[in-house]
Amino acid sequence: MISLFTVFAGCLLAGNAEAHDRLSLRADPAPAIVEASPVLAPFQHVRFCLRYPADCKTDPAENDRVELSDQTLELLNRVNRSVNGAITPTLKTYGTNIEDRWTIAPSRGDCNDYAVTKRHELIADGLPARVLRLSVVKTAAGIGHLVLVVATTKGDLVLDNLTDAIRPWQRTGYEWLKIQSAADARFWYAIKPARAGTVASQADRNLRLASR
């Protein structure tokens, strides 16, 4: 079992990888992430909300999905690439250094800083806060990692500091653990495991591979 410290503090450091996948805007909607039971928010997210209260507000009148148009996909790609290139990856050790915390737009940071910066910038660019949800995942190597999920009319897409590609959540290879609530950005939910066969076949239909 992965420890709470690893889930909340662990992070992979990378960025600026070349993107080779292109999403098809004509595809049918893919199965969405499904919330299960409420869980504790990551402790560092609680601290983040105290420091950046405006980034933890939710307007219930907002749409909970954004239309995946050419313009929206261009915006997602631009923000994902620019933030990946702007922050120099560095390792933080949460729990041992009180100054190590999730920070918007630092010069150096880890996966948490990439994710909250992307969310902040996309909100500033006009996307509804409700469609932008932080999520804790576990990589194939068992490392805790934070990504940003964007709920679109074509499925839930992932912005990740490990790649410049915008990927459907089913195609990341991650184990999905918990996600920020769409109804209230301060709260989190466990993620209901997807049915592997259904998810894989639907994701294959919704992703068109193409070289840039």
Host domain of residue 98: 4-209
The pLDDT value recorded for residue 27 is: 66
Mean pLDDT across the chain, nearest whole number? 84
User: Does 146 have pLDDT greater than 90?
Assistant: yes
Residues 6+ apart with CB under 8 A from 179: 33, 35, 133, 134, 135, 136, 149, 188, 189, 191
Confidence of residue 11 (pLDDT cuts 50, 70, 90): confident
Q: How open is the CA angle 65-117-71, to the nearest 5 degrees?
A: 45
Q: Tokens for 28?
A: 């049918």
Strand 88-89 with 108-109, pairing: parallel
Total-model pTM: 0.84
Query: In which band, very low, low, confident or very high, does the pLDDT at 87 lie, cut at 50, 70 and 90?
Result: very high
Q: Tens digits of per-residue pLDDT, 151-191? A: 999 999 999 999 999 999 999 999 999 999 999 999 999 99
Q: How many domains does the chain have?
A: 1
CATH of the domain at 171: 3.10.620
- What confidence tens digit (pLDDT) does each residue in 91-107 have? 888 776 767 899 999 99
Confidence class of residue 22 from pLDDT cuts 50, 70 and 90? Answer: low
Identify the band that residue 110 occupies on the pLDDT scale cut at 50, 70 and 90: very high
